[in-house]
Amino acid sequence: MRIKKFVGHTLKDASEQMKQELGPDAIVVSSRKVTRGGPFNFLGREAFEITAAVDDVVPGQQNNYRARPAAAGFQQQLGRTAQELEEQETLASLRRIAGQYDRTGRDEQRPARRQQDPGELVELRSDMEDVKGTLKAIVEHLKHAKMPALPDTLQKAYGRLVEHEVEEQLAVEVIQSVIARANQEQMGNKQYMERQVVAALAGLIPLAGPERSRKKKSRVIALVGPTGVGKTTTIAKLAAIHKLVNGQDVGLISADTYRIGAIEQLRTFAGIADIPMEVVYKPSEMAVALRKFRAKDIVFVDTVGRSQRSRKELTDLAKFVTAADPDETHLVVNASTNVRTAEDIIDQFKIVKPNRLLFSKLDEAVTYGPLLTLIHKHNIPLSYVTTGQAVPDDIRVVDPAQFAAMVYAGEIAHA
Ligand SMILES: Nc1nc2c(ncn2[C@@H]2O[C@H](COP(=O)(O)OP(=O)(O)OP(=O)(O)O)[C@@H](O)[C@H]2O)c(=O)[nH]1
Ligand SMILES: [Mg+2]
């Protein structure tokens, strides 16, 4: 079985192309109008697209289409064999499942309803899994069929974005915006096009807004987030860099009196780095600690890790953060968190008014595309990414261009 799409200005036009290329035995599997302005419809004309199928070996016409050279087009040069295989597998799988359901249907027409035995249930469940798998294969196929006429460079760039789990619609928009700005000559220049794709990705990342005017000398930076994401370790990294590298006067406040060992964890570091530290047990004590550090350049506030699912805990946390009145509140999110959970974390932690997003444990994440979707969607500027346990080395300030390059490359950029 061979499947192919044909696009014409009319249905007749498309079906004539089909007959010419696949022969008289070809059948139309589906047809649709390709609307103006749809994804990658940059020719700006309305068209009809039909999906046609023909058996590979048609008796007496074996050479009907095989002898003819394939029509020119970007799509055909790319993974044709893999695609054909995938289509064949998908169809075979669909036929098999349809056959099974057909049999089941006939069985059910018998007058008396039988009790379902456990074996049948297991079989049914396995069928459902097959259906799911098949649907997934179809969706995957359609994903790539969305862009019939992309230049090779952009086809690959798009594939790469999707592979790195940039949300598909976002990837489409990025590629569209690059197409809109490139001329024919630029389209053929791989490096140039890749730079444009990275620049378009960077354009999706919000920048930090202007600083509010401040009366106090010290800059207060609080880190908040779910449990175990690396808040205390990140504070140690930042405090060490500001003190040892930038030569600034730094103070540490621990507001985590909940977890056993949390204070000792920061105190040990504070001792090694020779940075003064205060412990705050109640929100009302925050002002006292801040007053002690009023001559410092920077004061870092470490907070207790809280589940975003507990409103009560978040409300308590918000009292500490409000009392600290930070200039920057960084919401720390583990880079491997799945998008739904990360969205929930961002939504629920709004109660502490974070104005920066900090992705931790990038070294453990498989792809960074979902992070881009998050930043873009929630419009929170990115501050740092952390890339390992080593204090202070494993932290990076990331500007949008660097982060976009990391998403595109699928690896952590070298400092
Ligand atoms: N792989 C990796 N591990 C990290 C990173 N940052 C922190 N960790 C590790 O994550 C674990 C938890 O780190 P903490 O700094 O205690 O996390 P926390 O958010 O303060 O935890 P709670 O205060 O309990 O909520 C430790 O083992 C850290 O070494 C990172 O960037 N990469
Ligand atoms: Mg901690």
**Ligand 1 neighbourhood includes 268 CB (under 6 angstroms):** no
Q: Whose CA is nearest to atom 27 of ligand 1?
A: 389
Which ligand 1 atom lies nearest to the CA of residue 227? 25
How far is Cα 377 from Cα 207, in angstroms, rounded to an integer? 13
Give the ligand whose atoms come closest to the C-alpha of residue 395. 1
- Which residue's alpha carbon is at the smallest distance from atom 24 of ligand 1? 228
CA of 230 to the centre of ligand 1 (A): 3
The pLDDT assigned to 255 comes to 94
Report the candidate in 415, 391, 389 with the shortest Cα–Cα distance to residue 229. Answer: 389
Residue 144 has what pLDDT? 54
Query: What whole-number distance in Å separates Cα of residue 75 and Cα of residue 81?
Result: 11
Mean residue pLDDT across the chain: 81
For residue 395, give the ligand 1 atom closest to its CA: 31
Dihedral angle of Cα 360, 363, 367, 368, to the nearest 10 degrees: 40
Residue 225 CA, closest ligand 1 atom number: 19
C-beta 228 within 6 A of ligand 1: yes
Q: What is the pLDDT of residue 409?
A: 92
pLDDT at 153: 86
Please compute the mean of the pLDDT values over residues 342-363 and round it to a whole number. Answer: 96
Ligand 2 center to 252 CA (angstroms): 13
Confidence of residue 61 (pLDDT cuts 50, 70, 90): very low
User: Does 31 score more than 80 pLDDT?
Assistant: no
Q: Quick one: pLDDT band at residue 275, thresholds 50, 70, 90?
A: very high
- Grade residue 260 by pLDDT with cuts at 50, 70 and 90: confident
270: phi then psi, degrees, rounded to nearest 5? -60, -40
Q: Which of 204-218, 234-248, 354-368 has the lowest mean pLDDT?
A: 204-218
CATH of domain 219-409: 3.40.50.300
* pLDDT category of residue 259 using cuts at 50, 70 and 90: confident
How many A from CA of 364 to the centre of ligand 1? Answer: 12
Distance of CA 208 from the midpoint of ligand 1 (Å): 25
What phi-psi label fits residue 16: left (phi over 0), alpha (psi between -120 and 50 degrees) or beta? Answer: alpha
The 10s digit of each residue's pLDDT in 90-132 is: 556 556 655 555 555 454 454 455 566 777 778 788 778 777 7
Most confident of 3-12, 42-51, 143-152, 301-310: 301-310
CA of 307 to the centre of ligand 1 (A): 15
360 pocket-lining for ligand 1 (C-beta < 6 Å): yes
pLDDT-derived band at 262, boundaries 50, 70, 90 = confident
User: Can you tell me which atom of ligand 1 is nearest the CA of 303?
Assistant: 23
Nearest ligand atom owner, CA of 305? 1
DSSP string, 313-366: HHHHHHHHHHHH--SEEEEEEETTS-HHHHHHHHHHGGGG---EEEEE-GGG-S
Q: Looking at residue 94, what is its pLDDT?
A: 57
> Could you tell me which of 221, 224, 233, 232 has the C-alpha nearest to residue 293?
221
Q: In which band, very low, low, confident or very high, does the pLDDT at 45 lie, cut at 50, 70 and 90?
A: low
- pLDDT per residue over 134-157, tens digit each? 666 666 555 555 555 678 888 889
Residue 213 pLDDT > 50: yes
Copy the structure tokens of residue 120.
Answer: 């049948």
pLDDT score for 342: 97
**Ligand having the closest approach to the CA of 331:** 1
Atom of ligand 1 nearest to the CA of 233: 15
* pLDDT-derived band at 284, boundaries 50, 70, 90: very high
Residue 364 Cβ contacting ligand 1 at under 6 Å: yes
For the chain, the domains span 2-71, 153-202, 219-409
pTM: 0.68
Give the ligand whose atoms come closest to the C-alpha of residue 229: 1
Burial (Cβ within 10 Å: 0-12, 13-18, ≥19) of residue 340: exposed
